[in-house]
Chains A and B, each alone.
Chain A
Amino acid sequence: MKIKILIVVIWSMLVLVPPLISWQQLEIVAEQTILETLRNFDSRFQTQGSISFTFFVAISSTILTMIIGIPLAWNLGRYKWRYHIILRSIFTVPFVMPSILVAMGFLSLLDWFEVIFGDNNSQDLRIYSLLLAHAWFNLALVVRFCEPILSTIEESYEDAARLLPSGNTKLKRFGRLWGPLLLPNIIASASLVFVFSFTSFALVKFLVPAKRNLEVVMSNQAEWAGVEIPALGRAPSEIVLASSSIQLLTIILALAISSKLQSRSQGHHLSSLKDSRKEVSFFSIRGLYILMMLIFIISPLFALISSSFLVRENGVMIWSTQGWVAAFGGTHSPTNVYQSLYSSLSYAFLTVLISLPIGFVLSDSINELEKEDSKFSTILDILVMFPLALSAVMVGLGVLVGIIRTEPELARVWWIPIYGHLMLATPFVVRVLLPAMRNLNPEFEQSAALLGAGYLKRLMTIKIPILAPSIIVASSLVFAISLGEFGASWVVLRFTEYTTIPVMIGNILSRPGYDPLLRSVANAAGTVLLLMTLILFIGVERFRPVGRGGEF
């Protein structure tokens, strides 16, 4: 128990101290309060239009994701397809894809668009592709939240509604039955899509380089934020302080709405855990729709892989392996694929090793507090989720400004990035393990205790073996998140020799000047990352419990 309390206290310190120190440091350098920095935020050339652009992108992306995602969730939830598990896996794979890969996939599609239709440099086209990329990336959230409920909802609801005057047309049934039943899940998923689109970094940075959202603004100022050098002025610190405040407030509001609606949704007692889907053939209108959605999901990934073997010269695509040779040779980046892969895998392994026990203890503590009906369970849950409300770039800044600026010798320490990865990945461990722990029959442990098993024996012989599938899911998810993490690593790592693959790709794509080979090199490195993520994802899906919704 003492160890548990210690871990909870350590986690709280880990989560709260760096952002608090960094905000204090930023306030000292800015010589202004947060409110004062907000006053002239939009008049600076570095930040002009960034607030409106951030909100425009987040709101439009959320609407587009819902328009694409709800019909997909409906067709997966209400109908049983041949190879259903494979289909569901394909439609949920985007969520575990590193955002930088999504950016590159859509950049490759834009390249193809240019080759086939002409100009691709129009700002509008790039913004549309950004919104579409957000929808692609977040589609899995809508499916994960809505599909399990749709698939296990009592079939007789539809029949009963059909026989009653208020449900005797499809429109009425949608408006009065399905709409209200699904609304909490739709809004809960929409809130999360909003948060992820609001804090989108790699996609905005590379797909619409002429525009800046708050995340890009902060990243651009990260190098000088919190540094007390009179020649630099106070601007970087002021900008980061204001941006992070707006961002934090907005995200907390959205997450609060999501959490409230999720708890309301669970109060409906909907799920019967009985599969109520009707069988349907691929040779139908619905089949055609599913095929189109498959093409939508696969095309950016296909474009990414194929473009790694293409080099563009004078507007013509030429098949070549030069990109792969350069990626593995390290001719276009400070590190080659081997070195970056080594860094990525090392950070991912270490993140799993550390975040798993921390996440396990945190989940166990929340679960026990919930059983005691203690309000501390909510407080601890909020503390666990806090890093997600910070966004990746803000976590990176917290580490950079809060730790490195105050202890400069830490800047070259290899393990510092793990800190950011831990903060971003541990909440996901809790989100996977906590529902599994809630479903664990307490009588298993109680009977083991009556048979004389102590805490450690019960943990090793009862709890961990029963929770093993969820532990495997959590480990793979953490590994994938760490492997693809870009925002925090970009802020902390980009000038060090411990460059991960996403940072290596970011470095290549950010190189000034035109080099026809650059995109191919980045795509080759991206393909390596893609393959690793896919292998992990397939591993995760095999262990995912059936009929679960509203989880990661």
Chain B
Amino acid sequence: MLICKQINKSYSKTILSNFNLEVRQGEIVALLGPSGSGKSTLLKIICGLETLDSGYVYFNGKNLENIPPEKREIGMVFQKLALFPHLDVRGNLKFGLDKKSDIKEIDEILDLVGLSDYGKRKIHTLSGGEAQRVALARSLIAKPKMILLDEPLSSLDANIKEDLAIEVRSLLKKLNISAIYVTHDPKTANQLSDRIVYINAQILSDE
């Protein structure tokens, strides 16, 4: 379970002010708000890529303050996906495994995201939807306890976005992984999440 308590973050202006959020085990929460409202910053604070000015982030009962990102067991799919261009699909997925892991897991996860024959494909040859699935698979293969999705569907066509949102939801539910999905699109938020949290400038309301 994730608890964000009284989170404050400012750069040249205030991004987040006394922000609170709870995500239960297996729950998918959509964070909905306009550009610049601090959605992506919040995700980076949760996974440890950004520091907070004040407040607390608890995950499964542990205060994450001094835990580095790599030890938080939280995965993230970035807006631009960040698939490594020098590696093929299999290479990107392998990046999510440690040395002890069974290499068969790559085939299993490719099956799971419906890309069984894509292992040797170069990243730049993938379509938007395929790249999105690979990015999700790469995060999932590392077996995180929670996954953060930073508008990964934003660049896709409406039809593909709708189908993929449903697919992502069923996949996360199947694996019982908690997730926060950041978006500015209410339709996708509705399709994908169990609950929507609105974030607008510094004012946050839970609905």
Partner of A156 from B74, B80, B98, B138 at Cβ < 8 Å: B80
Bound form: Cα–Cα A268–B91 in Å: 14
Interface string of B137-151 (1 = CB under 8 A from A): 011001000000000
Residues of A within 8 A of B79 (CB): 156
Asked if A315 is at the interface (CB within 8 A of a chain B CB), the reply is no
Q: Check if A282 is an interface residue, CB within 8 A of chain B.
A: no
Question: Are A164 and B86 also in contact (CB < 8 A) when A154-B80, A159-B49, A269-B124 are?
Answer: no
**Residue B114 at the chain A interface, CB threshold 8 Å:** no
User: How far is B73's CA from A168's CA once the two chains are assembled, in angstroms?
Assistant: 11
Residues of the B chain whose Cβ atoms lie less than 8 Å from the Cβ of A325? none
B153 within 8 A of A: no
Q: Does B175 contact A (CB under 8 A)?
A: no
Question: In the complex, A295→B94 CA distance in Å?
Answer: 43
Across-interface contacts of B85 in A (CB, < 8 A):
181, 268-270
Q: Which of B70, B82, B101 contacts A168 (CB 8 A)?
A: B70
Who on chain B is nearest to A269 by CB?
B124
Distance in angstroms between the alpha carbons of A225 and B94 in the assembled complex: 60
Once the chains are docked, how many angstroms separate the CA of A180 from the CA of B94?
Answer: 15
Q: Knowing A156-B78, A159-B78 touch, does A166 contact B86 (C-beta < 8 A)?
A: no
B: contact size bracket: 20 to 34
Chain B contact surface mostly: loop
Inside 8 A of B82's CB, which chain A residues have their CB? 154, 156-157, 159-160
Give the distance in Å from the alpha carbon of A176 to the alpha carbon of B92 in the complex.
10
Candidate in A157, A160, A165, A267 with the most chain B CB atoms within 10 angstroms: A160
The tally of residues in A whose CB lies under 8 Å from a CB in B reads 22
Selected from B49, B80, B96, B139, the residue in CB contact (under 8 A) with A166 is B96
- Interface of A, helix, strand, loop or mixed by DSSP: helix
Q: Decide yes or no whether B97 CB sits under 8 A from chain A.
A: yes
1/0 per residue B115-129: CB within 8 Å of A?
000000001100000
Are the C-beta atoms of A163 and B124 separated by less than 8 Å? Answer: no
Asked if B47 is an interface residue, CB under 8 A from chain A, the answer is yes
Asked if A165 and B97 make an inter-chain contact with CB atoms under 8 angstroms apart, the answer reads yes
Q: Is the Cβ of B49 less than 8 Å from the Cβ of A176?
A: no
Chain B residues contacting A176 (CB-CB under 8 Å) are: 95
- Give the distance in Å from the alpha carbon of A177 to the alpha carbon of B82 in the complex: 12
A549–chain B nearest beta-carbon distance, Å: 15
Contact in complex: B78, A160 (CB < 8 Å): yes
A438 in contact (CB, < 8 A): no
How many A-B residue pairs have C-beta atoms within 8 angstroms? Tell me: 70
Shortest Cβ distance from A110 into chain B, in angstroms? Answer: 43
Q: In the complex, what residue of chain A is closest to B73 when comparing beta carbons? A: A163
- Bound Cα distance from A154 to B81, whole angstroms: 10
Is B69's CB within 8 Å of the partner chain A? yes
- Contact between chains at B74 and A163 (CB < 8 Å): yes
Interface check A162, CB cutoff 8 A:
yes
Given the complex, which residues of A lie within 8 Å of B76, measured CB to CB? 159-160, 163
CB-based nearest A residue for B135:
A160
Closest chain-A Cβ to B164's Cβ sits at a distance in Å of 19
Are A268 and B80 in contact, CB atoms less than 8 angstroms apart? Answer: no
A162 CA / B50 CA spacing, docked (Å): 13
Nearest CB to that of A160 among chain B residues?
Answer: B82
Report the bound CA distance from A165 to B49 in whole Å: 15
What is the bound-complex CA distance between A157 and B70, given in angstroms? 14
Nearest-CB distance from B94 to chain A (Å)? 7
* Nearest CB on A from B125, distance (A): 10
Contact call B94/A163, Cβ cutoff below 8 A:
no
Closest Cβ of chain B to A528, distance in Å, is 47
Say yes or no: A164-B142 contact (C-beta < 8 A), given A180-B86, A268-B86.
Answer: yes
Docked Cα-Cα span, A167 to B98, in Å, equals: 9
Q: What 0/1 pattern do residues 96 to 107 of B give for CB contact below 8 A with A?
A: 111001000000
With a cutoff of 8 Å between Cβ atoms, the chain B residues found around residue A168 in the complex are 70-71
Say yes or no: B78 contacts A162, CB within 8 Å. Answer: no
Query: B87: which A residues are within 8 A, CB to CB?
Result: 180
A180 to chain B, nearest CB (A): 5
B41 CB to nearest A CB, Å: 13
Q: Give the residues in chain B near A235, CB-CB below 8 Å.
A: none
Cβ B98 vs Cβ A166 within 8 A: yes
A113 to B187, CA, bound (A): 73
* A534 sits at the interface (CB 8 A): no
Please provide the chain A residues from 251 to 307 with a CB less than 8 Å away from any CB of chain B in the complex: 267-270
A161 contacts partner chain B, Cβ-Cβ < 8 Å? yes
Residues of A within 8 A of B81 (CB): 156
Closest to B141 in A: A164
- Give the shortest distance, in Å, between A295 (CB) and chain B (any CB): 34
A270 to B80, CA, bound (A): 12
B75 at interface, CB cutoff 8 A: yes
* CA gap between A131 and B137 in the complex, in Å: 48
Measured CB to CB, the nearest residue on chain A to B150 is A156
Complex interface: chain A residues within 8 A of B138 (CB): 160, 164
Which residues 165-200 of A have a CB within 8 angstroms of B?
165-169, 176-177, 180-181
User: Whole-angstrom distance between the alpha carbons of A162 and B142 in the complex?
Assistant: 12
CB neighbours (8 Å) of A181 from chain B are: 84-86
B96 touches A164 (CB 8 A): yes
The distance from the CB of B186 to the nearest CB of chain A, in whole angstroms, is: 25
Check B142–A165 contact: CB distance below 8 A: yes
- Chain A residues near B123 (CB, 8 Å)? 269
Q: When A156-B82, A181-B86, A268-B85 are in contact, do A163 and B47 touch as well, CB less than 8 Å?
A: yes
Q: Which of B37-90 contact A (CB under 8 A)?
A: 44, 47, 49, 69-71, 74-76, 78-82, 84-87
- Top 9 A-B pairs, shortest CB-CB distance: A168-B70, A160-B82, A156-B82, A165-B98, A156-B78, A268-B85, A166-B95, A164-B96, A269-B124
Question: Which residues of B approach A to under 8 Å, CB–CB?
Answer: 44, 47, 49, 69-71, 74-76, 78-82, 84-87, 94-98, 101, 123-124, 138-139, 142
| Interface CB pairs A-B, < 8 A, 9 | A156-B80, A159-B78, A161-B84, A164-B138, A165-B97, A180-B86, A181-B84, A269-B85, A269-B123
8 further interface pairs, Cβ-Cβ under 8 Å (given A163-B69, A164-B95, A181-B86): A159-B78, A160-B138, A161-B95, A165-B98, A166-B94, A169-B70, A268-B86, A269-B123
**Which residues does A use to contact B, with CB under 8 Å?**
154, 156-157, 159-169, 176-177, 180-181, 267-270
